[in-house]
Amino acid sequence: MKKIVLTLILTAASTSHLLADEGMWMLTDLQKQNEVAMTELGLLIPVNQIYNPDGIALKDAVVHFGSGCTGEVISAEGLVLTNHHCGYSSIQQHSSVAHDYLTDGFWAMNRSEELPCKGLTVTFIDQILDVTDYVRQQLKADADKDTNGTNYLSPRYLREVANRFLAGQAITLTPGHTAELKAFYGGNRYYLFLKSTYSDIRMVGAPPSSIGKFGADTDNWMWPRHTGDFSLFRIYADKAGQPAGYAPENTPLRVKKHLTISLDGYREGDFTFVMGFPGRNWRYMISDEVEERMQTTNFMRHYVRGARQEVLMQEMQKDPAVRIHYASKYASSANYWKNAIGMNEGLIRLKVLDTKRAQQEKLLARGRELGDDSYQEAFDRIRSIVEQRRPALYHQQAIQEALVTALDFMRIPSTAKLLNALGNNDPAAIRQAADTLKAAADNYFAAVPYPQVERLVGKRMLRTYMEYIPAGERISIFDRIDTEFKGNSDAFVDACFERSIFGSRANFDKFIRRPNLKQLEKDLMVNFKQSIADGQVAAEMVMLAANQDYDDAHKIWVKGMMDMKLADGQPIYPDANSTLRLTYGRVRPYSPADGVEYATYTTLQGVMEKEDPSNWEFVVPDKLKQLYQAKEYGRYALPDGDMPVGFIIDTDQTGGNSGSPVFNAKGQLIGTGFDRNYEGLTGDIAFRPSSQRAVCVDIRYTLFIIEKYAGAGHLIDELTIE
């Protein structure tokens, strides 16, 4: 019955043309549910050129970049285009005061200059298999072992089922190749993704931050935008073209598909589509869950991250070395700090809670009309769960933002083995544990080279945590702060750095020569870290107990919403979960407020208009100004002679789509998605096509920077341009 219902849902979605630009669609369903709507909107190629399970298609040039972005292969020799902010940590990895690639940019003028990026991966999706029937069979066969009734969503169980399926199909995974089984539609459908992951990835090119991050925090999540948010990397493989770790003898990957680039641009109303790996969204939340998100996760991201960033920015502006070290951490923090602010503002401004309440009341009324009380029971259960877990979630988010994410000095290595050895008074075990701890401490001190900054951040974060969590509810270390330091958290942080064995290299070296059990048991940083861990566990246990029936209630609620939308002729699609999706729409302007109209594209003139040499966010490189003044744009200029920079489309995107290729109706690359607009930040919870836009770098600006600004014409020669 479920299979029949889902088929009807997908068929209905294919006929709902007016809303077809909403949805993060599975590639496997395009031909069945989207091809007609996409063609009517302007698609000029058959969808089997986008996704073809039996052949090569555009999908084979779209990659998962790192673990949280998207990239696209743009040359036959494995050249990958993604966002500057997606490559930011790798750019930072290679930067120093002597070679400040964040400030100056980087361009490899030949293959020998391309820089290996430790820890960076690029993943291709080789196959997508609908294994729903197989998974249901396994769930049924294992029902007697599933005492909690949770196997249908259990990652551990789904990994086991994936392995069974592979064995049954005689599929052997070689190094670099993996399989991932995921649930969709609340566990009503399952897909298996076969992947190839390459780990020898080398940095090829990146503009200076004055181009790649132009506008920085001020312009982040905003439109109009004038940011050249792109960077270039190359995939390397072994001699057989297979994934392999870095080796000098590895060669650029000869890919099976790379994208063709169009210089024809776009016009308002043109059809576009995007492929990428959107991370998470929550379109089926009830209103109580939206309020919970606003008052816990978004609240803490806003105020705690804001406090930390204020300290970091002050210190980063004082010292170039500090700036380089904290650049990626700051950027990562600031990104979803502003997202949280904008989302809360938008949820209020657009009255999303009222919309959610109306939707849920409609479903509850439908249940009453059908004589089906399961929706009401699921709704009541979810409300009860939210009420029970909210205080614990609030505290958990405070711990996470103020004490886990923010405090690098809390990444001190574990002392558990040494504590155990000292407690047992075992000399051999003590020596072994001490040697292990020393090696870990070497890595720690190398990773946290600015204790003076950590001390300032620590003081600010503890004061911030105390501001939002009242006495008596705080983690246990505050008992010691209250008694030993008279409640002075600043004095406690100072003592951590002055007295802890991890407070300085000298302190650690002195301790490790003669490890002492009592000293280690009372060590301030060790106790602080353990207290944080205990606080996390306590909060998680409360939430675990409250959430015990959430998945089942949510599954029923989602099914009800799907059935209701089906009855109304609306399209249905699964929430984002970091799997490859397609979204489509048009190049469209928008009006965020009365009397305010935003056009569909920006030009280099806007960069010059925003220039402010006294503000690091809006510095314009001299060479870019020279090119602008000379109008030296080559073949990348608009017909009127202007240089395009960015444009907006009304596709349905979220975090993880950063770096996604933007295609025209012919399937040619016209840009790279990198952001959303401020008015559309509610989109993770409620999509509003009238106000939600994806912000993209025009491919012509990317190529202009590569060729005219960087002088890296050899990279242009690799590309297929029409």
Domain shared by 259 and 291, yes or no: no
The residue whose two tokens read 């073209």 is 241
586: β partners: 271
Residue 329 in this model has a pLDDT that exceeds 60: yes
pLDDT of residue 67: 87
pLDDT of residue 574: 87
Distance CA 550, CA 554 (A): 6
Domain shared by 414 and 508, yes or no: yes
Domain shared by 268 and 300, yes or no: no
pLDDT of residue 383: 97
- Per residue in 198-240, pLDDT tens? 999 999 999 999 999 999 999 999 999 999 999 999 999 999 9
CB 109 within 8 A of CB 714: yes
Domain shared by 624 and 714, yes or no: yes
Domain that holds residue 442: 287-546
Tell me which residue of 106, 192, 187 sits closest to 154, measured CA to CA. 187
Following CA atoms 447, 452, 455, 461 in sequence, which dihedral angle do they give, to the nearest 10 degrees?
-80
Helix extents (H) in 448-523: 451-468, 477-484, 489-499, 505-513, 517-522
Residue 355 in this model has a pLDDT that exceeds 70: yes
Residue 18 in this model has a pLDDT that exceeds 60: no
Domain shared by 293 and 250, yes or no: no
pLDDT of residue 13: 41
- Per residue in 149-189, pLDDT tens? 889 999 999 999 999 999 999 999 999 999 999 999 888 89
Residue 630 in this model has a pLDDT that exceeds 50: yes
Domain shared by 226 and 359, yes or no: no
Domain shared by 75 and 212, yes or no: yes
Mean pLDDT of all residues in 371-398: 96
Residue 509 in this model has a pLDDT that exceeds 60: yes
Mean pLDDT of all residues in 229-253: 98
pLDDT of residue 149: 87
pLDDT of residue 12: 39
pLDDT of residue 640: 96
Banded model confidence at residue 19, pLDDT cuts 50, 70, 90: very low
Q: Does residue 704 lie within any of the structural domains? A: yes
646: β partners: 602, 697
Domain shared by 9 and 75, yes or no: yes
Q: Does residue 67 lie within any of the structural domains? A: yes
CB 68 within 8 A of CB 281: no
Q: Give the CATH number for residue 41.
A: 2.40.10.120
C-alpha distances (whole Å) from 517 to each of 417, 424, 521 are 12, 10, 6
Distance CA 282, CA 280 (A): 7
Residue 677 in this model has a pLDDT that exceeds 70: yes
Banded model confidence at residue 21, pLDDT cuts 50, 70, 90: low
Residue 510 in this model has a pLDDT that exceeds 90: yes
Residue 102 in this model has a pLDDT that exceeds 50: yes
Q: What domain count does the chain have?
A: 2
Query: CB-based burial of residue 617 (10 Å sphere; 0-12 exposed, 13-18 middle, 19+ buried)?
Result: middle
- Per residue in 440-471, pLDDT tens? 999 999 999 999 999 999 999 999 999 999 99
Mean pLDDT of all residues in 636-640: 97
Q: Does residue 170 lie within any of the structural domains? A: no
Question: Cis before residue 116, ω within 30 degrees of 0?
Answer: no
The answer for 78, left when phi > 0, alpha when psi is -120 to 50, beta otherwise, is left
Residue 305 in this model has a pLDDT that exceeds 90: yes
Residue 15 in this model has a pLDDT that exceeds 60: no
pLDDT of residue 562: 82
Residue 646, SS3? strand
Q: Does residue 168 lie within any of the structural domains? A: no
Q: Does residue 613 lie within any of the structural domains? A: yes
C-alpha distances (whole Å) from 379 to each of 372, 373, 391, 544 are 13, 10, 20, 19
Q: Does residue 660 lie within any of the structural domains? A: yes
Residue at which a domain ends, from 529, 546, 563: 546
Residue 2 in this model has a pLDDT that exceeds 60: no
Domain shared by 273 and 293, yes or no: no
How crowded is residue 134: how many other Cβ atoms within 10 Å of its Cβ? 19
For 540-554, b/e burial (b = at least 16 CB within 10 A) is eebbeebbeebbbbb
Mean pLDDT of all residues in 473-477: 97
Among the ranges given (238-247, 431-440, 569-578), the one the predictor scored with the smallest mean pLDDT: 569-578
Q: Does residue 564 lie within any of the structural domains? A: no
Residue 9 in this model has a pLDDT that exceeds 70: no
Residue at which a domain ends, from 530, 546, 562: 546
Domain shared by 390 and 266, yes or no: no
pLDDT of residue 565: 81
Domain shared by 650 and 691, yes or no: yes
- Per residue in 520-571, pLDDT tens? 999 999 999 999 999 999 999 999 999 988 999 998 998 898 888 878 877 6
Q: Dig out the tokens for 173 from the structure.
A: 């995974």
Catalytic residues: 85, 229, 658
Q: Does residue 127 lie within any of the structural domains? A: no
C-alpha distances (whole Å) from 279 to each of 68, 128, 530, 654, 658 are 7, 18, 31, 7, 10
Q: The pTM is what?
A: 0.90
Domain shared by 234 and 356, yes or no: no
